[in-house]
Amino acid sequence: MNSSLLVEKIGEVLFRYYGLEGGLFRLGGENLNYRLSTATGEKYVLKIVGDNSTPESAELELNLLEHARNADFPVNLPFIIKNYSKQTETRIKLPALGPKRLRIISYIDGEMLENHSDISIDLLKSVGKSLALFDKAIEDFDHPAAHLGHDWELVHAGRQQKKMHFIEDPDLREQVAWAFDLWHQVRDCLADLPHQVIHGDANKENILVQGDSVVGLVDFGDACYNPRICELAVCLAYVMMDRDDPMDAAAVVIDAYTEEIELSEEELAVLFPLVCSRLAVSICMATSRKSENPENTNWFVSLEPAARLLRQLHEIDVQ
């Protein structure tokens, strides 16, 4: 894929349908996303999606963000910028990639939690509280597209078990099997837990911070209708990575979350299995993608930290 031709084509569509032009910078992550910086200092995020993202997902994201803002969610949320035709997405045909859809989102200032050098106790508390306040803000929101399902949903974590053969390390494969076994033990009771639409991917790249406070929440492409506890489980799976004290860090986030939303004993009982399940899904997805395209490191950037954390949690469980 010729990156210069790709950027040139994106630039043409930006100017034609939005009246925007400026420098494009490729963002990290598994998706084809860019940051646009204009000559006047404005910044935007460009999301380019394909068949794995339905057109209805743009409407879901638009309505979800509006609902959260109307509920006075205190953390910054992005806006979707409509094109000249008042559409949330614009069709674009890219060199070597074929037909795609372009979505432009306002840029939020802040440092990704992923890049924060020192995640303090106060910041962990802010993460837990902010996530709970978001879930409270959208607890009465729903949309048909939130029920369509996707590969990362924890209620369907077992679907990714078929990818375990991509894991070459036999010890890691055994630990992933253990994690999926935990999921199978709790999956039948998930249907009886409180459900709502959730962000679905509150990882450290999607949480923006300044100092010891969360200032932004972004990327709602995995929003879905799931057991509410899945929101916290996904967040914990990433917050606990690369820490010497993963369980202590998790406890801080959980305490802060439950100060805003009371969780039942049944919800808390499935939290550890769901965290392990998310790690197992992440490892299976990453190893299969690495096998498919080992040059695209954005596809499996979380593989090693997820594997390290799963080993830690397995050791804790078997002790």
Q: What are 25's two structure tokens? A: 């910078």
In this prediction, residue 318 has a pLDDT band, given cuts at 50, 70 and 90, of low
Span 26-46, average pLDDT? 87
Span 239-250, average pLDDT? 95
Domains of the chain in start order, with CATH, are 3-106 (3.30.200.20), 111-318 (3.90.1200.10)
* Residue 296 clears pLDDT 70, i.e. is over it: no
Predicted confidence at residue 29, as pLDDT, reads 66
Backbone angles phi, psi at 57, to 5 degrees: -65, -30
Residue-wise pLDDT tens digits, 91-124: 988 877 788 899 999 999 999 999 987 899 999 9
- The Cα-based distances of 40 to 13, 22, 104 in angstroms read 19, 9, 17
What does the chain look like in DSSP terms, one character per residue?
--HHHHHHHHHHHHHHHH---EEEEE-SSSSEEEEEEETTS-EEEEEEE-TTS-THHHHHHHHHHHHHHHTT-SSB---EEP-TTS-S-EEEEETTTEEEEEEEEE---SEEGGG-S---HHHHHHHHHHHHHHHHHTTT---GGGGS--TT-GGGGGGGGGGGGG---HHHHHHHHHHHHHHHHHHHHHTTS-EEEE-S---TTSEEEETTEEEEE---TT-EEEETHHHHHHHHHHHTTT-S-HHHHHHHHHHHHHTTSPPPHHHHHHHHHHHHHHHHHHHHHHHHHHHH-TT-GGGGTTHHHHHHHHHHHHHHHH-
State how far the Cα of 245 lies from the Cα of 235, in Å rounded to an integer. 16
Predicted confidence at residue 97, as pLDDT, reads 79
Q: Sign of torsion, CA 53 59 65 67?
A: negative
Please list, residue by residue across 200-216, b when 16 or more beta carbons sit within 10 angstroms of its beta carbon and e when fewer do: bbbbbbbbbbeeebbbb
Ramachandran category for residue 148: left, alpha or beta (phi over 0 → left; psi -120 to 50 → alpha): alpha
Beta carbons within 10 angstroms of residue 270's beta carbon: 23
Q: In this predicted structure, which of 46-50, 174-178, 223-227, 252-256 has the lowest mean pLDDT?
A: 46-50
In this prediction, residue 314 has a pLDDT band, given cuts at 50, 70 and 90, of very high
Span 196-204, average pLDDT? 97
- The Cα-based distances of 113 to 1, 51, 214, 224 in angstroms read 31, 29, 9, 23
Indicate the average pLDDT of the chain: 92
Predicted confidence at residue 56, as pLDDT, reads 83
In this prediction, residue 298 has a pLDDT band, given cuts at 50, 70 and 90, of low
* Residue 2 clears pLDDT 60, i.e. is over it: no
Span 197-226, average pLDDT? 95
Predicted confidence at residue 194, as pLDDT, reads 98
Predicted confidence at residue 53, as pLDDT, reads 65
Residue-wise pLDDT tens digits, 13-30: 999 999 999 999 988 766
Predicted confidence at residue 279, as pLDDT, reads 98
State how far the Cα of 303 lies from the Cα of 316, in Å rounded to an integer. 20
Residue-wise pLDDT tens digits, 153-167: 999 999 999 999 999
User: What is the Cα 213 distance to its own chain's centre?
Assistant: 19
State how far the Cα of 161 lies from the Cα of 258, in Å rounded to an integer. 31
Span 143-154, average pLDDT? 92
Predicted confidence at residue 137, as pLDDT, reads 98
